[in-house]
Structure 1
């Protein structure tokens, strides 16, 4: 097992993030309570076609902090490849993944490290992700907010329930390097939201492998981030595509920790469960079906 030289790595996978990255980097430059933490920030450019590389180079020129800012280009498209590259490059015992549209509060790094030290059997943990909306969300938005990686599960830490696919999103998620190295294969099923189907499941797949290996997955309410949600992410076409991508990956995810002889039963249960939900939904909206 490699001895990592740092306590913590913040890894930012990005694709065409030239306009989003500055806000994230400014938040990371303002972290508090990190005087006794050895950490770094690494940006994994997932083959961007904009000026992402130039933006990071400009920041590096004037970077006057105790923690380094590093840049890596990963040409294989898909967030899974970006995360795998981050794992290879990271020097931290813990690695916190932050999407390029996620803004951490000033104590996010500190709280992530504190939790990791207090929970040595935790393989991964996520915190509270709040919505930072460009426009007011629609009526009954609470029913679908989880599709946009919003997680507000109260003020008490608790274990997630991987057996029922109750898991934290990868938008702001901390992994223990030891757990990743020992539990997660280099070849993964889901590569990210690519192609027309926009399949999700890339973050849950990682966590299910951790769970299968016996690691705990936690909710840490002391870690706060804000997900920037522009208007177009609340439009019908985007939300339908998003929900479809999340739904299509469920069966394959459940197969990860399922014995071969159980898979036909799992498939039938998923099919019947979804059919029941569709009929229940149609019954509720029968007077407004359009």
Structure 2
């Protein structure tokens, strides 16, 4: 059914929800456009489940609200639970620190309705800050899901290249259900407290591309991404770098499959080994930068240190994840083959 389900995944978010729900309650949605709010409390130990309905009622409850408890920790589990509960075709993924602009729901509905080829629609996250951001923030804002995407250009991302951050994105339910029907399951994991980013958003985008959908960006789809002071530290940024390195595995698998549609496991192993060799070469090319980064990792005045450490983290995780990479390749390759069989069967039926 056409409409917008705003899906809020939260972990112990009771203190963050008042402002998030206040912005959501200010949506300006044309009469006749259905929308709802589905809030998933993901292994929370606070009173989120009780707080959210009270807050929403006090704000006038401009749309139906359902509150769900997902006890299994991990953003991907919260997403699966929320997607299953969503009543409408367009599912907006909103974190508990995302403040939607008043026209967000309306714009999401219009763009997704006009372009059925869109699997995921990306938004423009604008930074909002508890304290003034550090001087280096602008250089790394994309790490925080802030700033324009796709070069600020409305429209589809290049086929099989680039990605959209998950915050504020809109997922097509038809595409999601197609993936489920043909065996998709997340291989990434985002257990809060263990990792800061599980890359489940990037994995979903890649899988929908595999199913024939496009990633699309709309610069008029806006929200504010609120940054608490604890996130605006160099230590937190380095944790993000380590987290993204540890969660890159599935993206690497899709990268090779997109560029080699008939990729065999043997050839994948070879390509993966070449990638490790390339990363090793990049690290070895800059011994001075490596020594400096390792001896002064907390020097936030040297943004070069961050890039060097991120490269080193990528190398380390690529080496330690070699066996896991092959397992993920088998899973993604099987999904690719099932989707290809569906496409061939559809074409055969159409031609007859």
TM-score normalised to the size of structure 1?
0.88
CA shift at 1:217, angstroms?
Answer: 0.5
2:266 to 258, 261, 268: 261
Q: Please, which runs of 5 or more residues in structure 2 have no aligned partner?
A: 258-262, 297-352
Q: Distance in 2 between matches of 1:273 and 1:104?
A: 41
**Structure having greater relative contact order (Cα 8 Å, sep ≥ 6):** 1
1:274 equivalent in structure 2: 279
Shift of 1:156: 2.8
Q: Which has the higher helix share?
A: 2
Task: Measure how far apart 1:103 and its partner are.
Answer: 0.7
What's the counterpart of residue 160 of structure 2? Answer: 163
Instruction: Indicate conservation of the 8 Å contact 2:93/2:169, yes or no.
Output: yes
Give the strand-richer structure, 1 or 2: 1
CA contact (8 A) 1:63 1:69 kept: no
Match among 75, 79, 82 for residue 71 of structure 2 = 75
What's the CA shift for 1:269?
A: 4.3
Mark the runs of 5 or more structure 1 residues left unpaired by the alignment: none
Deviation at 1:212, TM superposition (A): 0.7
CA deviation vs aligned residue, 1:256-287 (integer Å, no higher than 9, x gap) = 46232332243234324434554567656877
Structure 2 residue aligned with 1:228? 226
Q: Contact 1:34–1:109 (CA<8 Å) still a contact in 2?
A: no
1:246 aligns with 2:251: no
**Structure-2 change in CA distance of 1:106 and 1:262 (3 Å):** farther
- Specify the SS of the correspondent of 2:81: helix
- TM-score using structure 2 length: 0.74
Change (3 A) 1:201 1:161: farther
Question: Cα distance, 1:151 vs. partner?
Answer: 3.1
Residue number among 117, 122, 126 corresponding to 2:118 in the alignment: 122
- Helix, strand or coil at the partner of 2:112: helix
Q: Which residue of 2 aligns with 1:200?
A: 198
Q: 1:44-59 residue pairs with structure 2 within 5 A? A: 44-59=40-55
Q: Partners in 2 of 1:240 and 1:218 — Cα distance?
A: 29
Bigger Rg over Cα: 2
